[in-house]
Chains A and B, each alone.
Chain A
Amino acid sequence: MAASMTRAVTFTTCHCRKYFAANICKSTPASWTLQRLSSTSTSNQESDAESLVANYEEMEEEERIEKLRNISGLTVRQNRKLHGQPLEIANDDHKTVRYHRKLYGKLGSASGVDPRLSWTGRKKALELAQLYREWEPSLEERMSKLKMQKEEEGKKIEEREKRIGQNMSKMDQWIEEYKKRLTQKEAEAQKKEDKKRKILEEAREYFGYYVDPRDAKFQEMLEEKERQDKLVAKKQKKEKRMEKLAARLQHMARDSAGDKKESAGENKQSLSEKKEPSAEKEQLAAGKSDS
């Protein structure tokens, strides 16, 4: 817009309400004329009263002629709309600020609307400014926040990459371990299988044919075998214990019999029979017996 078109408006008060007092805007041209008339009458002297009345009569006559001339069939409202004149206030919507703003925007100063209505009130403006200050951080603050966010993200990525690098260095070892585990598992499974086959073979020898492992006979055989095994194990254990006891008794007897008549070789033999000790222990025992 050119500077010549720009005109500043000074503000004194500005109220923003949905409905505002009628004194802010002069809505109808009829009231305008009346106002103008009243203002002129106060300015003029009483001597001019006659001319004023004549003027008024003239205006009435004009109005009458205009009425006759107007054959458009339009309503008053439609006629005003057509000629760009402000409309009468017909409903509550016409009392709103929004409507008056629209009127001013459409008809300009001819609408008789105070252009100050185009802005929100001072109080509201102050409130809004305060709200923006509270709720909208400045550009610098937000940029610093953005920078921080990016840094944090970068750090996260870096950490992840580092972790991946570390893990990748250990990867070969882990793969080896995994393979080892796998072979071990396989070996175990194989062992189990072998054992099962062995039992089945035994069962075949016992029965003379391949038995179904779910068969009751087979189960009985298994139980029997288990019992036998247990008995054997028990017997072995007992024998072992007896042997141990005998050796100990022998040893004690020999000890009590006297230190003089003792052959190192015998002692050594008994010790080795008892429980195969390590070479060092043997030597120690030999040393003891020597002394």
Chain B
Amino acid sequence: MASTRDTAQRLIRSLPRVALHNIKSVQPKTRKKVRRSFAKGKTHGRGHKGQGQHMTLPRLGFEGGNTPFYLMIPKEPYYQNHHLRRQYPPLTMLSLQRFIDLGRVDTSIPIDLTQLCNTGLFNVNIDRKHFGVNLTEEGADIFAAKINLEVQWTTELVIAAVERNGGTVTTRYYDPKSLRALIDPLHFFKRSTAIPRCRLPPQDALEYYSSASNRGYLAKEEDIEVERQRLAQKYGYVLPDLHADPGSTMLKMRKDPGQLFYGLEPGWVVNLKDRLVLKPKSPEHLEFYAS
């Protein structure tokens, strides 16, 4: 008589290889549905009479006429003004390093929101009140790329990690209308609309974007230089000389506060089919796009 082991081995040999077609998910989704067939009887499991039968059960939280609990104690202060708050979907430094290593972003040109969205690995949803990327600290210790980075929100450690490698960081605000053009320029240019001028940040974000310690785009260059030195001292690294760098022109590239794309100004129209850039000349339009 064959041993259990032999039987098992024989069985395994006769079984097909594990492949996509013969594995299933750990927890298969089950859908519950009211079956209207005769097999389910005359009431289909919903009983006779009343709200159950007519599917008119009271709404969730309803207490039969009493003031419901959720209205009795309406104190959820952490949700206050949630509909007005700006959201910044996070992206870790680790992911950014991965994008760079995989060639999903080009480090020879400034990395801004457009580049990040063009990876297809990061997305910004304006309808969900997203206002750009929040670069988080995870993976800051292994970050090793010299880049000109433009993000919407970040922390001190991230700035230190980028600057230690000889790169530069700018935190930059874009209003939703500008964001729509930025996150998908191809789609925007196909609509053949003039590039809008980026508005200034709202009052509650003004402090962040005008602070040199956050590398805000509204801060003065001299202040930023001082802050760069201060950060190098704080984290204990030697700040690489930007001016001596062969790629210093790229690293020092900055957009104007109203500008969305490098080399393109507000008010211009890009036609990709004719490979044309159309510029307005009327004083009215010039004034409008300058304001």
Contacts and interface: CB of A to CB of B under 8 A. Distances in A.
Query: Do A and B associate with each other?
Result: yes
Interface of A: 1, 5-11, 14, 98, 101-102, 104-110, 115, 117-120, 122-123, 125-126, 128-129, 132-133, 136, 139, 142-143, 145-146, 150
Contacts of B277: 1, 5-7
Contacts of A150: 207
Contacts of A105: 189-192, 271-273
B57 to A, nearest CB: 43
From B191, B277, B284, name the one whose CB has the most chain A CB atoms within 10 angstroms.
Answer: B284
A122 B284 contact: yes
17 contacts: A5-B277, A6-B277, A8-B279, A11-B285, A101-B191, A104-B192, A106-B190, A107-B273, A115-B269, A115-B271, A118-B192, A118-B278, A122-B285, A129-B284, A133-B291, A136-B200, A146-B210
B279 A108 contact: no
A117 B281 CA distance: 14
* B: contact size bracket: 35 or more
Contacts of A126: 284, 287-288
A60 to B, nearest CB: 31
B203 interface: yes
B189 to A, nearest CB: 6
A275 to B, nearest CB: 69
Interface in B212-261: 218, 257
B218 A125 contact: no
Contacts of A102: 190-192
B238 to A, nearest CB: 34
**8 closest residue pairs by CB, A with B:** A105-B192, A108-B273, A108-B274, A125-B288, A122-B284, A11-B282, A101-B192, A118-B269
Contacts of B278: 7-9, 115, 118
A145 B204 CA distance: 11
A10 B281 contact: yes
Contacts of A101: 191-193
B192 A125 contact: no
Nearest to A128: B288
Contacts of A104: 192, 271
A120 to B, nearest CB: 8
Interface SS of chain B: helix, strand, loop or mixed?
A: loop
A38 B146 CA distance: 63
Contacts of B273: 105-108, 110
B234 to A, nearest CB: 23
Interface string B264-275: 100101111111
B147 to A, nearest CB: 23
B264 to A, nearest CB: 7
A106 B277 CA distance: 14
A167 B155 CA distance: 39
Contacts of A1: 263-264, 270, 277
A284 B251 CA distance: 105
A125 B283 CA distance: 10
B271 A108 contact: yes
A79 B105 CA distance: 38
A150 B206 CA distance: 12
From A115, A117, A125, name the one whose CB has the most chain B CB atoms within 10 angstroms.
Answer: A125
A1 B277 CA distance: 8
A132 B258 CA distance: 14
Given A105-B190, A136-B199, A122 B282 contact: yes
B203 A129 contact: no
A234 B34 CA distance: 95
From B192, B218, B273, name the one whose CB has the most chain A CB atoms within 10 angstroms.
Answer: B192
Contacts of A146: 203, 206-207, 210
B194 interface: yes
A114 to B, nearest CB: 11
A101 B189 CA distance: 10
Interface in B159-206: 189-194, 199-200, 203, 206
Nearest to A101: B192
B276 interface: yes
A98 B288 CA distance: 20
A182 B146 CA distance: 71
A11 B280 contact: yes
Contacts of A125: 284-285, 287-288
A142 B206 contact: yes
Contacts of B279: 6, 8-9
B155 to A, nearest CB: 21
A129 B287 contact: yes
A9 B284 contact: no
Nearest to A100: B192
Given A104-B271, A119-B267, 15 more contacts: A10-B281, A11-B282, A105-B191, A105-B271, A105-B273, A108-B273, A118-B269, A118-B278, A120-B194, A125-B284, A125-B287, A132-B291, A145-B203, A146-B203, A146-B210
Contact of A119 (B206, B269, B271, B287): B269
Contacts of A108: 271, 273-274, 276
From B218, B264, B277, name the one whose CB has the most chain A CB atoms within 10 angstroms.
Answer: B277
Contacts of A145: 203
Contact of A14 (B192, B206, B272, B282): B282
Given A104-B192, A104-B271, A105-B191, A8 B281 contact: yes
A119 B257 CA distance: 21
